[in-house]
Amino acid sequence: MSDISRRTLLSGSALLLASTAMPAIGWTQTPKKGGRLVLAADSEPRNLNPAIVASNGVFFISSKIVETLAEASFDGKDGLEPRLALSWEGAADGLSVTFKLREGVKWHDGKPFTSADVAFSALQIWKPLQNLGRTVFKDLASVDTPDDFTAVFKFAKPTPFQLIRNALPALSSVVPKHVYEVGKIEENPANNAPIGTGPFKFGEYKAGQYYKLTRNADYWGKDEPYLDEIIYQVLPDRTSAAAALEAEEIQLAAFSAVPLADLDRISKVPGLKVISKGYEGLTYQLVVEINHRRKELADVKVRQAIAHAIDKDFVVKTVFLGYAATATGPVPKNDPQFYTADVPTYPFDVAKANALLDEAGYGKADDGKRFALKLLPAPYFNETKQFGDYLRQALAAIGIDAEIVNNDAPAHIKAVYTDHAFDLAVGPPVFRGDPAISTTILVQSGIPDGVPFSNQGGYKNDALDALIAKASETLDTAARTDLYKEFQKEVAADLPLINVAEWSFISVARDTVGNIANNPRWAVSNWADTYLES
Amino acid sequence: MTRALTLIRRRLVGSIFVLLIVIIGTFLLLEAAPGDAVDAYIVSTGGDAGMIELLRHRWGLDQSELTRLANYLWALLHLDLGQSVTFSRPIREVIIERLPTTLLLMVSATALSFGLGSALGIYAGARPGSFRDRFLSIGSLALYAVPGFWLGLVLIVVFAVDLRWLPIGGIESLASDKTGFARAADIAVHLVLPVSALGFIYLALYLRMMRAGMAEAWRQDFVLAARARGLSRRRIVLAHVARNALLPLVTMLGLQSAQMLGGSVVIESVFAVPGLGRLAQEAVASRDTPLLLGIILTSAVLVIAINLAVDIAYAFLDPRVGASEAGA
């Protein structure tokens, strides 16, 4: 009992920490013009073209240069806010979507932005080359451009408008046709020095040192942008971002560049604020991936036993220090469209887990062990590794002897998704606003070997496959949403994988940085309204 | 002079075999590491089967290992280091961009550890067994035992965060447009902490070697002779004892250059210095085999050149050494 109350207390203090940071965000003051924002970057993406590489690492820098058709929004209709597109409308038959585009927008090289650029980006880049677009836009047949500011996407097969809409913030980066139409798109120099319509122009990149973006004086947003320059200082060591903030060498560290363990200390440094808002659209899911080729794990009772053995509250409080939420299924709780709490749950119950394993016929041997397995925690985050250690102990409590196998990132990817050399793995898939973008693939069958962040555990459930197929061609938004609620139920019941927690990133910034975290994808949005108080 | 030339010729022939072994060894080691450049790339992007196949083809990873090794060696014969898959740029360019920074760091750190180490060694060895000798020996040994990254972090916390005397990292101020002398001064300020972190670790080595060499030299007859001639203690220490103890340190200088390169990987990461060491770490993490081969090759050439220079210097400093090798 006392244990529980201590936990509640802890979560309370984390909430308090988050809420003390809020007032500074919500209250808009008159933004100041000018100034150089210096922030930490922990990696250096080589290809900065977000139309080809739709990933947070690339967006972090290039979303300020290259804009999408629409951006995510806390209060906009359908969670969207216009950018290069002013409106979007789907046809009832699901065969076309019409975009009305913003007029008077100029590329950074002075040429006008038109519907031809959108058509080119969609057909020549998103569909054939983009990591996510290849799936979402696979049935895109053509893009009609009746005039310079109208683009009509035509699909060969009915495609849910809801999916296209949800994909806009991450998948619809528009690049200039006149720059990319000559030569191979993958080798275009603009991939390393992007040209866009955004509030900032690409300035210079010094490998291993910094990226510099400069103000676009011709930006379409009134009075925007406020900042003169944005400098991303490359700080590869995870401890140095906190030191640089304290030494006032940088003013912002996004994407949890300051490790969770340092947040408590850094939140007490005068002039610094810890912000857990602004990443709602970039939710990561802590998932136990299961290799169903193992006969023990193919038994749903064993999977349920493992789910019962995991104390999700403990994981949130200990591994994530409160900066996370417990998960119930494959859609995160903070998703406004699809989430349902009405799914089978697995409360922490070691006795029940043991009973389920006994029932399944895997009794304890004389040494107290039932069977042994290999556990591969993904190395990309501290938290996935720490959860791996926790899971090993949790499994030991129910007589499952897990051996942890540590790999670096490429080795882990190969072991799990190509070689299937795992029994259990800990992975951090991303929920991207619609289950069809990168979530259903985690449990769907028939995916070729080697596809990362997909069902490589040999799981096959015909009912679930049918449900996914049906949802992918259901055009009515309400009916489609209901199908994905059913999908969550089925996944939670049959446990092709076990969703443990959901988390996102933390920003630490100086008090002088204004308009932080004002949209659900803030760190990867265009920062036109970000400003610095002097 | 001919002695030096013979030495250079013999070394060059030997070096080619050393380099070949280094290249093939590195290549095989990297091939043995699970996952390739495409696996490393898709960690941050994801992607479907078609995209992965496309990438493997574009980066030439769908060819056999033997073909790739043969292609690499063939290109190398034409002095072509190839194309980096992660940077999509010629590797020669990428390395040339980073090499000066690492060289600057290495040379400064070596100068610090060699200069200060031998000076303190002379100071300690002038009176073997004295308090200052014990103090310096133990103190330097303690520094030697400290891991480089830890020393680096402590220096950052004290001098950059608390005192704010020095920048926390980087090689120069970001996008500052400084030129000429102002830029040189800026770089020097940025180098203080990383050079100290790297240099202080190896300081102990020179100090202890100097000290041991001096303790040895004190017992030699020529020191006794010098004393008998009534020379001042200062003169004996500097001109007779220390001078003789200095020779082995020169050898150490050559050997140490390889270790410095290794140490710079850690220090460059901690201090965000854009050098070759960090590039090597990134090349391994992204499984960029040709890039890593290029870096290792550059480092090997560097180490071989430094050792050759040391040997030539040695041959001049101590005629006994070169004679046997050149004559054999």
Chain B residue at shortest CA distance from A241: B168
Chain A nearest C-alpha distance from B41 (Å): 8
- Look at residue B140 in the predicted model and tell me its pLDDT: 84
Q: Which residues in chain A have Cβ-Cβ distances shorter than 8 Å to B170?
A: 209, 233
Residue among A240, A381, A416, A432 with most chain B CBs within 10 A, to mutate: A240
- pLDDT of B7 higher than 80: no
**Nearest neighbour of B161 by CB, restricted to A247, A408, A409:** A247
Which pLDDT belongs to residue A7? 38
- Min CA distance, B279 vs chain A (Å)? 8
Cβ-nearest to B272 among A240, A408, A451: A240
Q: Are A512 and A272 in contact (CB under 8 A)?
A: no
Q: Which pLDDT belongs to residue A3? A: 39
| SS3 at position B312 | helix
Contact B262, B299 (CB under 8 A): no
Distance from CA of A202 to the nearest CA of B (A): 13
| B274–A234 C-beta distance less than 8 A | yes
Nearest residue of chain B to residue A447 (CA atoms): B49
* Residue A29 confidence (pLDDT): 61
pLDDT at B188 over 50: yes
pTM of the model: 0.87
Helix (H) or strand (E) holding B65: helix B65-77
Tens digit of each residue's pLDDT (9 = 90 or more) over B253-292: 888 888 888 888 889 988 999 999 899 988 988 899 899 9
Pairing status of strand A531-532 against strand A513-514: antiparallel
Closest CA of chain B from A37, distance in Å = 12
Mean pLDDT, chain B, integer? 86
Chain centroid to CA A54: how far?
10
pLDDT for residue A342: 95
Average pLDDT over residues B188-215: 89
Residue tagged 């193992």 (tokens): A294
Does B48 sit within 8 Å of A240, measured CB to CB?
Answer: no
Q: What is the DSSP string of A28-64?
A: PPPPPP--EEEEEES---S---TTT--SHHHHHHHTT
- Residue B54 to chain A, least CA–CA distance (Å): 10
Residue B81 and residue B75: Cα distance in Å, rounded?
A: 7
Determine whether the interchain pair B98/A448 forms a contact, defined as Cβ–Cβ distance below 8 Å.
no
State the count of interchain CB pairs (< 8 A) between A and B: 147
From A379, A328, A344, A293, select the one nearest A494 (Cα to Cα).
Answer: A344
Question: pLDDT digits over A220-243, tens only?
Answer: 999 999 999 999 999 988 788 999
Q: Which residue of A38, A47, A409 is in closest CB contact with B43?
A: A409
Which residues from chain B sit within 8 angstroms of residue A135, using beta carbons? 48
pLDDT score at B313: 80
Residues of chain A falling short of pLDDT 50: 1-26
pLDDT surpasses 60 at B121: yes
Q: Which of B37, B51, B269 comes nearest A131 by C-beta?
A: B51
Contacting residues of A for B277, CB less than 8 Å apart: none
- DSSP conformational letter for B117: H
- Is the CB of residue B190 less than 8 Å away from at least one CB of chain A? no
Q: Which residues of B touch A240 (CB under 8 A)?
A: 156, 168-169, 270, 272
Give the gap in angstroms from C-alpha B35 to the nearest C-alpha of chain A.
5
Q: In this model, does residue B324 exceed pLDDT 70? A: no
CB contact, 8 Å: B280 with chain A?
no
| Model confidence band, residue B326 (pLDDT cutoffs 50, 70, 90) | very low
